[in-house]
Amino acid sequence: MVSAAAWATLLQHPASPLSRWLTDAVTRRAVMGLAMGSTAVALIQSPLGARTGAHMNPAVTLAFLRIGKLGRGDAAGYVLGQFLGGSVGILAATVLLAGLPSDPSVNYVATVPGPLGAGVAFVAEAVIAFLMMTLVLTLMSQPSLSRFTGLGAGLFVALCIVVEAPLSGMSMNPARSLGSNLLSHTENSLWIYFTAPVLGMWLAAELHARWPQPSRSLPHVCQSR
């Protein structure tokens, strides 16, 4: 959340020279996508990410719970930590950036439906969540490809920010949206980001569990180091 708020402020706030230079919306989203994709890869491949399985998303956690790679107690701990981390992150970013993320141009990096409305935003969020989890499970199930899981997830995040963000704001993560939307007083749209990503990723996990797999080598996410 700190990274998202910092980059959104840099790209969108009127006081930022970069926002005056990059006036094209697609170019801004491309830069934001590259930044967020790189952040995701760095977190996934970091020592903490390796230790915990890099769970930063309740929808991901519930999908892994569905396929039996995470216990209920661990899942509850993950979800609590994700919501706490996301909310504290946007608050910390606002303080560190001297309140700049509160400007309407940044709006606390809140995720809100695009001009096509809430229905389209819900469908878009569910689709990208389904595709993300399908990609992750496919890569992790193949020993020759599993090392590319973080890179694949990061590239997909970048692509979604460029292509899908105009439809829903590109959340794909309930914990990412909670604090931002509460601070920006856009909590009326939270139902989209609390339900669609969970539905999409749960469906991907359900299909993965039922579809015959040549290898069932998905690792458990909690490992002792």
The answer to the question of residue 181 being in a domain is yes
Cβ within 8 Å of residue 29, ≥6 positions away: 161, 162, 165, 166
User: Which one, of 36, 54, 44, lies nearest residue 155 by Cα?
Assistant: 36
Q: Is residue 223 predicted with pLDDT exceeding 50? A: no
Domain span at residue 36 reads 2-210
CATH for 133: 1.20.1080.10
Give the pLDDT confidence of 172-213 residue by residue, as tens digits.
999 999 999 999 999 999 999 999 999 999 999 999 988 766
Domain membership flag for residue 220: no
Cβ–Cβ under 8 Å, residues 60 and 201? yes
Give φ, ψ of 145 to 5 degrees: -115, -10
Tell whether 223 is covered by a domain: no
| pLDDT (tens digit per residue) in 40-94 | 999 988 888 777 777 899 999 999 999 988 899 999 999 999 999 999 999 999 9
Domain contains 36: yes
220 — pLDDT class (breaks 50, 70, 90): very low
Task: Work out the angle between the directed axes of helices 190-210 and 58-66 (0-180°, nearest 10).
Answer: 30
Number of domains in the chain: 1
Which pLDDT score is estimated for 167?
A: 98
According to the model, what pLDDT value does residue 221 have? 45
Position 215 in a domain: no
Confidence (pLDDT) at 49: 77
Domain presence at residue 216: no
- pTM to 2 decimals? 0.89
How many whole angstroms separate alpha carbon 80 and alpha carbon 158? Answer: 26
For the chain, the first-to-last Cα distance in angstroms comes to 27
**CA atoms of 75 and 69, how far apart (whole Å):** 10
Closest to 48 (Cα-Cα) out of 174, 225, 172, 219: 225
Looking at the domain assignment, is residue 129 inside a domain? yes
Domain membership flag for residue 66: yes
